[in-house]
Amino acid sequence: MHLLIDFTLLLFLCTQANSASMDTILAGQALAVNAKLVSKNGRYALGFFNKSSSKPSQDTTNWYLGIWFNTVPKFTSAWVANRDTPIKNTTSPELTISHDGNLVILNRFTKSIIWSTQENITRNSTTAMLLSNGNFILTDSSNSSEVLWQSFDHPTDTLFPGAKLGWDKVTGLNRRLVPWKNLNNPATGVYCYALDPSGLNQFMLTPLNSSIPYWSTGVWNGEYFPSIPEMKVSNPVFNTTFVINDQERYLTVNLVNKSMVTRNVMDISGQRKAFIWLEDSQDWTMIYAQPKLQCDVFAICGSFTICNDNALPHCNCMEGFTITSPMDWELEDRTGGCSRNTPLDCISNKSTTHTTDKFYSVSCVEFPENAPKLEAAASASECAQVCLRDCSCTAYSFNDGRCSIWHNELLNIRALECSGTSSPTGETLYLRVSAKDFHGVKNNRKGIVIGVATGTCVSALVLFALVVLVMIWRNKSKSSSHILDGVQGCNRIIAFRYTDLQQATTKFTDKLGAGSFGSVFKGFLNGSVAIAVKRLDGAYQGEKQFRAEVSSIGAVQHVNLVKLVGFCCEGSKRLLVYEHMSNRSLDVHLFRNNSMILSWTIRYQIALGVARGLAYLHESCRDCIIHCDIKPENILLDDSLIPKVADFGMAKLLGREFSRVLTTTRGTSGYLAPEWISGVAITPKVDVYSYGMMLLEIISGKRNSWAPCTSSGNLDVYFPVHAAQKLLEGDVGSLVDDKLHGDVNLDEVELACKVACWCIQDEELDRPTMERVLQILEGLVKITMPPIPRLLQAIA
């Protein structure tokens, strides 16, 4: 009996010696594949993981030692020790402390070292600990304050709150961020975020093996980086500090709210991004991206591609090319680009006197900044011949009498939105392709003869087939132009075919504008009825859900809301068809000198109409609809200058969180309420804030970013602050648009200013509802003098 007890106790002690405690590994202990360390606050975990299943599993090939967000149910890595040396499944790895005091990953069977901290440690015993800030440290067991090695000195793609990013001048250590290779591979990616190696106090985004930036923060001016003006404002999420001394130059980012879970990452996309974890959606929401446009990233699509910021996906192969590695593209690594379907004729026959290669024209594109070689040529055809004579020439362009020749790989070709048929923007590139891949080439003489000979024989069959196709088309036309019964039984929404909308909009050539959720094109039904067709970006619901949401939006009808006429839902295509507003959007009349000047009476009626429309959305619909993107561009004016709110219901069609992302990253930040980036659930008060900002612009006729000259000549006054100050001084007349020449009702101006300043208060509880705003503007409810919002004071 005693022998059994002794054996059990011995087994227990051995087990304890070979397993790590909650957040610490001591000498003689080991961390196996199925175990993990957890920081004291529970926020971070360290252990072995594989990306194929996003959690430990015996069915995958490669294992990595890393740190991840322990409180986030969606596995999200933040640091990887052996990113470029994956561990094979058969190795059965373990993390332990070696006899020389270093942390090592061992093969449990052979005891060979797979990864090590490789420090010159002269200590008898060391301890490894995962701290609450996510830093994994190695310390002397007898002096825990002495850090011998730390993961913060070796970041991978994520910057932890409080970690340093930059140079240690003493040791030469360069802390920088490098993204993953793709979604499933943490290996070193192709981009880098680091301090300028030239010594300037700025951070740069560059290709990993290049010092030429495609985006930079600008040089630190003592208070902020010029390319990040948000740093001037009291940020509700991050506090950023840049330190310069004799030993170091580095940046740190700390959280204002310590309980908030954030992720500051160098993304596979080549962009620096910041995310907040939202419990209500159980997902990460992006609040920041630099550069904002995906196509600004150097060679993000690889060679022989066209990058389009206004389309999803952003990258597409050029004509005659196909994706080099479809698997990598699926994992969001498109830097491998595209490869030719057929080799050029000049490569196949080595002829310098004759080639069958052709040129495919690519219009409305922007060329890369690196200039091509210029050749002497008097015409476009002569320029083409210059290219054909050189087998390394892959494309040419001829503009303003200049012949430009591109050699070998084509990178950074960018699609632009053509502005209609009259004067398309951008330039035309002539891409060299094999004759086999040139779709515009006509059949050769032999093919034509065969076609003529056989044409007579099959003419009867062709005629019969045409009759059948016409009958099928008519049946499809009848079934595809069906009417959806609305929720209230009165909204008749037409389901259009994509080809019909292509024809109505002349293949989407007459672009009216572009917003956060897609581009809008003018069209005509039956040749006379004007419509506006919005082509949605990012609407990924299934057809049944999309139709249900469209029907729900179609039921929302009000004189101050743009009427939804119909929709299109074919494959991945999602389009909405609205009534066309002849007087375009409010911003055109407020901010452009060559447009109609709106009188004060009209402006006040527009403010009332928008308030009525928003109050209806917030309080009179069966389900409260939050617009999420109120600004002058989304207020349309009809023939009688009656305002109509456009783009309502986008959050329902695209998902509330997707709308948040688009609005914060692609919309105009001047209209965003502070809570948009604070991570809390949004309410209708975000629309109230945006309405207040827009109301100031209606009064002044200028963008809120306009800075009035003060007596001291200072041009840094933010207009909302200036307006609030003038309101307190009783001088609202100076805020009114100069184009009105003083022909205004000053009582209405003062009332509108007070309403605007109450709407843009920092705390949503301090803002009125849209129903109350309407009552105030109509003179039914009195209003007191508002305080200047603290956030605006900080901006000032």
What CATH code is carried by the domain that includes residue 775? 1.10.510.10
162 plus 257 within the same structural domain: yes
Answer whether residue 454 shows pLDDT above 60.
Answer: no
Instruction: Please tell me which of 443-452, 510-519, 740-749 the model is most confident about, judged by mean pLDDT.
Output: 740-749
Enter the DSSP assignment of 789.
P
pLDDT band at 677 (very low <50, low <70, confident <90, very high): low
Range of the domain at 182: 157-292
- Collapsing DSSP to helix, strand or coil, 584 comes out as coil
Across 115-129, 176-190, 440-454, least confident range: 440-454
Answer whether residue 784 shows pLDDT above 50.
Answer: yes
Average pLDDT for residues 730-737, to the nearest whole number? 92
161 plus 276 within the same structural domain: yes
pLDDT at 667: 37
Flag whether 754 is in a domain: yes
Q: Which residues in 740-750 are b (16+ Cβ under 10 Å) and which e?
A: beeebeeebbb
Flag whether 361 is in a domain: yes
Question: What gap in Å lies between CA 540 and CA 335, rounded to an integer?
Answer: 25
590 plus 548 within the same structural domain: no
pLDDT band at 4 (very low <50, low <70, confident <90, very high): very low
pLDDT at 795: 53
Average pLDDT for residues 402-407, to the nearest whole number? 91
pLDDT at 639: 85
Answer whether residue 450 shows pLDDT above 80.
Answer: no
For residue 49 the two structure tokens come to: 């993981």
Average pLDDT for residues 588-611, to the nearest whole number? 91
Question: What gap in Å lies between CA 546 and CA 642, rounded to an integer?
Answer: 30
Tokens 């020439």: give the residue: 393
Which domain-ending residue is among 382, 409, 437? Answer: 437
Binding-site residue numbers for ATP are 534
245 plus 126 within the same structural domain: no
301 burial (CB, 10 Å; 0-12 / 13-18 / 19+) is buried
pLDDT band at 168 (very low <50, low <70, confident <90, very high): very high
pTM of the predicted protein model: 0.58
Binding-site residue numbers are 534
pLDDT band at 474 (very low <50, low <70, confident <90, very high): very low
134 phi-psi bin (left φ>0, alpha ψ -120 to 50, beta other): left
Question: What gap in Å lies between CA 690 and CA 629, rounded to an integer?
Answer: 8
Read off φ and ψ for residue 91, nearest 5 degrees: -75, -30
Q: Which residues in 412-425 are b (16+ Cβ under 10 Å) and which e?
A: bbbbbbbeeeeeee
Across 46-60, 100-114, 602-616, 775-789, least confident range: 46-60
Which domain-ending residue is among 520, 552, 579? Answer: 579
Across 285-289, 456-460, 632-636, least confident range: 456-460
362 plus 268 within the same structural domain: no
Flag whether 201 is in a domain: yes
pLDDT at 157: 97
DSSP H helical segments within 542-581, as ranges?
Answer: 543-554
Tally of domains in the chain: 5
148 plus 166 within the same structural domain: no
415 plus 546 within the same structural domain: no
Answer for the pair 653, 735: CB distance below 8 angstroms, yes or no.
no
Flag whether 298 is in a domain: no
pLDDT at 475: 46
pLDDT at 123: 76
Across 19-23, 186-190, 381-385, least confident range: 19-23
Answer whether residue 81 shows pLDDT above 90.
Answer: yes
Average pLDDT for residues 9-21, to the nearest whole number? 41
Distances (CA, A) of 692 to 586, 724, 778: 15, 12, 16
Of 71, 80, 72, 16, nearest to 47 (Cα)?
Answer: 80
Flag whether 531 is in a domain: yes
The per-residue pLDDT for range 563-578, each reduced to its tens digit, is 888 999 888 888 999 9
Answer for the pair 311, 293: CB distance below 8 angstroms, yes or no.
no
725 plus 609 within the same structural domain: yes
Answer whether residue 174 shows pLDDT above 50.
Answer: yes
Flag whether 504 is in a domain: yes
Average pLDDT, the chain: 81
The total number of residues shown for the chain amounts to 796
pLDDT band at 205 (very low <50, low <70, confident <90, very high): very high
Flag whether 12 is in a domain: no
231 plus 282 within the same structural domain: yes
Answer for the pair 22, 41: CB distance below 8 angstroms, yes or no.
no
382 plus 400 within the same structural domain: yes
The identity of residue 535, as a single letter, is: R
Residue 521 CB contacts under 8 Å (≥ 6 apart), including other chains = 505, 508, 509, 510, 511, 512, 532, 533, 535
Answer for the pair 531, 539: CB distance below 8 angstroms, yes or no.
no
pLDDT band at 679 (very low <50, low <70, confident <90, very high): low
Answer for the pair 639, 583: CB distance below 8 angstroms, yes or no.
yes
Sign of CA dihedral 571, 576, 577, 581: negative
Average pLDDT for residues 656-669, to the nearest whole number? 42
pLDDT at 396: 94
Average pLDDT for residues 389-399, to the nearest whole number? 91
Which domain-ending residue is among 579, 602, 629? Answer: 579
**CATH number reported for the structural domain that contains residue 74 in this entry:** 2.90.10.10
Question: What gap in Å lies between CA 46 and CA 31, rounded to an integer?
Answer: 10
Answer whether residue 465 shows pLDDT above 50.
Answer: no
pLDDT at 653: 56
Answer whether residue 265 shows pLDDT above 80.
Answer: yes
Q: What percent of the chain has pLDDT over 70?
A: 79
The per-residue pLDDT for range 319-361, each reduced to its tens digit, is 999 999 999 998 889 999 999 999 998 877 765 557 889 999 9
Question: What gap in Å lies between CA 745 and CA 749, rounded to an integer?
Answer: 6
Flag whether 11 is in a domain: no
Question: What gap in Å lies between CA 68 and CA 71, rounded to an integer?
Answer: 9
The Cβ of residue 330 has, within 10 Å, a number of other Cβ atoms equal to: 13
564 plus 631 within the same structural domain: no
232 plus 91 within the same structural domain: no
Of the two residues 35 and 476, the one the predictor is more confident about is 35
Answer whether residue 233 shows pLDDT above 70.
Answer: no
Tell me which residues are annotated as active site: 629
pLDDT at 490: 39
For residue 173 the two structure tokens come to: 């250590």
Apex 191 CA angle, 188 and 195, nearest 5: 110
pLDDT band at 229 (very low <50, low <70, confident <90, very high): low
- Collapsing DSSP to helix, strand or coil, 216 comes out as strand
Residue 146 CB contacts under 8 Å (≥ 6 apart), including other chains = 139, 140
pLDDT at 793: 64
